[in-house]
Structure 1
């Protein structure tokens, strides 16, 4: 007769189950949206009992929030602190077309998905704001920067470009974008970010 699993083994199994649910839910939410995704869809994709969603996340809303927070935090860590514009451009290209692109594109698309829950959407906005500020900081932005609004706007346009490209790569075979690799995208991102974040503002007429 087999002995009961040790506490450490049970913790590892619980962690693995929780991660399977997060991965399955993240893919469903990113591709189909919150409203069109059911807990049964998620459980079936993860290969677990649907009751485990309530056990680990309390509800569908709780699972969506966990996916959202995880996706935004992963993207924030990737952008990093005190990095150069060129490193940010390389990071954007890697997210869209690098070795882990499938998972990372789903993370990007999660930022576009609303749950209808005000608290989850505030979390989404807060984390997007952190990403924008990190991108702007690559060009010297700080809260008291005299040209701070221009740098933040440039960073927001850059992030919007990444979000739009991720959506296009997932939703339609638009060539040559759909087949573009990391190296293909890096150079355009370098040009884009330098144009948005280092070019001086045009004087007003």
Structure 2
């Protein structure tokens, strides 16, 4: 006789978040079903409602996780290009979902959209701060937002085209041009 399967709420929640991030980043919110996510995570679809209340709740949790990962990672000026290069290099190799790509996906849910835009704003503000910009410096914030836009554009091109050498570039290949872009846009560091 086999013993009953031990429940692991934290592990199940983590599996659902990982599967949802991959699916939302790859297919977008509308094209992703809760059944797709649950199947990929290897769990019962009802657990999405148990842990996240709904598909919208799961999407919000994915976005909040992205915000935490990206925001917490910006600890120093030298880290910004490296963080962006790491994020850009992950998705096309299937290693982990490209968090920047996930931030391009809109859900249609008002609360999730607020969170998504808040994460984008916060990341741009942190990049500006990493570039030694004074709080409230609109020109500097605009430059950080342009840098973020370039990173999002790179994520989009890498996921939707086979444009070489961009598509096959790894983290190391991307780091120098991203550093140059960062230095050009935020030279006050």
TM-score (normalizing by structure 1): 0.83
Q: 1:3 to 1:98 in 2, by over 3 A?
A: closer
What are the equivalent positions in structure 2 for 1:124-203 lying under 5 Å apart? 124-144=116-136, 148-198=137-187
Counterpart pick for 1:74 among 55, 69, 76: 69
- Kindly report structure 1 stretches of 4+ aligned residues shifted beyond 3 Å: 1-5, 98-102
Residue 94 of structure 1 contacts residue 101 of structure 1 at CA under 8 Å; is this kept in 2? no
The answer (yes or no) to whether the contact 2:21–2:97 under 8 Å persists in 1 is no
Please name the residue that 2:35 is paired with: 40
Aligned partner of residue 35 in structure 1, secondary structure: coil
CA distance in 1, matches of 2:72, 2:9: 25
Structure 1: 5+ residue stretches without partners: 200-205
Decide whether aligned partners of structure 1 residues 21 and 152 sit closer, same or farther in structure 2, where only a CA change above 3 A counts.
same
Q: Deviations over 1:176-205 (max 9, x none)?
A: 011112221111111111111117xxxxxx
Q: Which has the larger radius of gyration?
A: 1
What's the CA shift string for 1:53-111, capped at 9, x where partnerless? 1111111111111111111211111222xx12x33122222222269984251x21111
1:24–1:98 CA distance, 2 compared to 1 (3 A): closer
Q: Secondary structure at the match of 1:116?
A: coil
Structure 2 unmatched ranges of 5 or more: none
- Asked if 1 retains the 8 angstrom alpha-carbon contact of 2:84 and 2:151, the reply is yes
Say how many residue pairs are matched: 187
Give distance in 2, aligned partners of 1:93 and 1:152: 21
2:81 aligned residue (89, 96, 110): 89
Partner SS state of residue 96, structure 2: helix
CA distance in structure 1 between the partners assigned to 2:14 and 2:90 by the alignment: 22
Aligned equivalents of 1:36, 1:183: Cα separation in 2 = 33
Q: Report the RMSD for the aligned CA atoms in angstroms.
A: 2.2
Tell me which residue corresponds to 2:96.
Answer: 103
Contact preservation (8 Å) 1:20, 1:46: yes
Indicate if the aligned counterparts of 1:95 and 1:101 stay in contact, CA closer than 8 A.
no
TM-score (norm 2): 0.89
